[in-house]
A = this chain, B = another copy of it.
């Protein structure tokens, strides 16, 4: 990264829902962005925390009741799902989010779902000129 990158411009350049794209690496974490709408399946990351930041829209993170139930994030709000907590995300309207995850985190946890994207897919470059200012 040799120039600043706009999180919103990066989201705007994504053509697919629920398909996180890596924007930056900081230490052993990736910062990813995604456009989401509808429901993402329940899953667990046994060994990794996951941080969510909402950029636009509204994201609901369901957690199993023992872990505190659902929370809803609005633009500019963050929330961390600790390792081991089974969770699912949903958005009624189109919502843009940023994520911080360990480079090895599988975004659907140990479950392989129709929405699972490989790390190679997540590392594809964004369309030229869209993300980088």
Q: Which residues of A contact B (CB under 8 A)?
A: 1-8, 23-29, 31, 48-51, 53, 55, 68, 71-74, 76-80, 100-102, 133
Expressed in whole angstroms, the minimum distance between the Cβ of A126 and any Cβ of chain B is 13
Interface contact B78-A4, CB-CB below 8 Å: yes
CA distance in complex: A72, B48 (Å) = 32
19 contacts between A and B (CB under 8 A): A2-B68, A2-B71, A3-B71, A4-B72, A4-B73, A4-B79, A5-B77, A7-B77, A8-B76, A26-B51, A26-B80, A26-B101, A27-B49, A27-B102, A28-B28, A29-B29, A31-B51, A31-B100, A100-B100
Expressed in whole angstroms, the minimum distance between the Cβ of A41 and any Cβ of chain B is 22
